[in-house]
């Protein structure tokens, strides 16, 4: 199979860091690849910057849906994934920096796993990230360790229903997985969480314990490395039981599970189908029964604090 890669970049008011990210892509050791970019209605210099880069590299950069509506980050990535047709697909945030060997490393591992598994197996390969500040100074060498994520056990289906451990910006998926993921449903909490669930349900997820990119944290991050602090923790505690708080988040994960069941239920192994169905219908049980089912089916996160929140919020 050819080694062609599509990189999907969703941009929104990202002019401050976007040029540096694009240059890191074209400094990759693996070529060729195609960069599919969708601007989500930016009001800064992002559209002009993208047009300039596309004019400089017309064979490598494609502007997708340039006059399209504002869809949000997940919606933009969903639109790009529907447009892509390459054997391998990667997601790219506008404000990070990729290390030069990222594509080559993920692709080498992907091809090795494909050789070991039946043809057309949906596969997702993801790596660790190095967390940096606005100026690319290192904050944490390992995103996984800093967030107490378990990239191995955490990709079991029962665990992924509760907590996503796959960062889309550090992942590669093969064409069989990309076909199964689209369209990404409105009930998906985030595009990368949905893709990880589909991979766990229908195929395989493999991890690489090596950072392949600099994960930039700044004030405008949509999703990022979580930080503590008394004020932040107090605010989260007050909002815990609200529709936008943790309890509301758990309801979102259950709706996402229900959509997975509706779309892929007949294709799941019986035990997996039962697991997804139990999680999707937890709200129909009494409080004690819900918590017993969490324990019985191994629905949990990688940290004691996460599990405390889970049992309190459910």
Report long-range pairs for 302-309 (Cβ below 8 Å, ≥24 apart). 302/148, 302/149, 302/150, 302/153, 302/154, 302/159, 302/163, 302/165, 303/148, 306/148, 306/163, 309/240, 309/246
pLDDT digits (tens, 9 = 90+) for 10-21: 999 999 999 999
How many C-beta neighbours within 10 Å does residue 235 have?
A: 12
| pLDDT of res. 151 | 94
Instruction: State residue 104's pLDDT score.
Output: 97
Confidence of residue 150 (pLDDT cuts 50, 70, 90): very high
pLDDT score for 188:
96
Q: What is the pLDDT of residues 84-140, one digit of tens each?
A: 999 999 999 999 999 999 999 999 999 999 999 999 999 999 999 999 999 999 999
Reading the block at residue 66, the tokens are 């340039």
Please tell me which residue, 228 or 179, carries the higher pLDDT value. 179
Measured CA to CA, the distance from residue 217 to residue 225 in angstroms comes to 7
pLDDT at 216: 95
| 274-305 pLDDT, tens digit each | 999 999 999 999 999 999 999 999 999 999 99
pTM score, whole prediction: 0.90
Return the half-sphere exposure (C-beta side, CA atoms, 13 A cut-off) of residue 301.
Answer: 16
The share of the chain scoring above pLDDT 70, in percent, equals 92
What confidence category does residue 183 fall into, taking pLDDT thresholds of 50, 70 and 90?
very high
Looking up tokens 């709200």 gives: 283
- Residue 174 pLDDT > 60: yes
For the residues 36-55, what does the mean pLDDT come to?
95
pLDDT of residue 5 exceeding 60: yes
Choice among 18-32, 105-119, 146-160, 231-245 with the minimum mean pLDDT:
231-245
pLDDT of residue 67: 83
CA 187 to chain centre: 15
Region 181-204: what's the mean pLDDT? 96
- Banded pLDDT at 240 (limits 50, 70, 90): low
Q: Is the pLDDT of residue 205 over 70?
A: yes
What's the confidence (pLDDT) of residue 223? 55
Cβ-Cβ contacts under 8 Å for 255 (sequence gap 6 or more) = 187, 280
Mean pLDDT, the chain, integer? 92
Q: Evaluate if residue 180 carries a pLDDT over 90.
A: yes
Q: Which domains does the chain have, with CATH numbers?
A: 5-216 (3.90.550.10), 230-313 (no CATH)
* pLDDT score at 218: 78
- β-strands 61-63, 33-39 pairing: parallel
């Amino acid at each position: 199979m050819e080694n062609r890669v599509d990189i999907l970049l969703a941009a929104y008011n990202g002019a401050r860091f976007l040029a540096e990210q694009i240059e890191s892509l074209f400094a990759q050791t693996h070529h060729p690849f195609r960069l599919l970019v969708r601007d989500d209605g930016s009001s800064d210099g992002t559209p002009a910057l993208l047009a300039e880069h596309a004019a400089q590299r017309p064979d490598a950069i494609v502007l997708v849906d340039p006059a399209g509506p504002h869809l949000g980050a997940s919606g933009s990535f969903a639109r790009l994934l529907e447009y892509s047709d390459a054997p391998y697909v990667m997601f790219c945030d506008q404000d990070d920096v990729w290390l030069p060997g990222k594509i080559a490393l993920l692709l080498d591992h992907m091809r090795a796993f494909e050789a070991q598994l039946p043809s057309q197996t949906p596969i997702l390969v993801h790596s660790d990230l190095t967390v940096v500040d606005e100026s690319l100074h290192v904050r944490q060498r390992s995103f996984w360790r800093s967030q107490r994520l378990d990239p191995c056990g955490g990709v079991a289906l029962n665990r992924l229903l509760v907590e996503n451990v796959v960062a889309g910006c550090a992942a590669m998926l093969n064409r069989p997985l990309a076909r199964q993921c689209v369209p990404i449903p409105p009930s998906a909490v985030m595009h990368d969480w949905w893709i990880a669930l589909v991979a766990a349900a229908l195929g395989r997820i493999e991890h690489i314990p090596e950072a392949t990119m600099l994960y930039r944290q700044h004030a405008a991050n949509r999703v990022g490395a979580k930080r503590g602090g008394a004020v932040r923790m107090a605010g989260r505690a007050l909002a815990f039981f609200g529709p936008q708080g943790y309890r509301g988040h758990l309801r979102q994960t259950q709706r996402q599970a229900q959509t997975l069941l509706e779309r892929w239920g007949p294709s799941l192994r019986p035990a997996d189908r039962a697991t997804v169905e139990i999680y999707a219908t937890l709200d129909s049980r009494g409080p004690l029964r819900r918590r017993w089912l969490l324990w019985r089916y191994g629905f949990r996160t990688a940290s004691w604090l996460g599990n405390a929140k889970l049992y309190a919020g459910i």
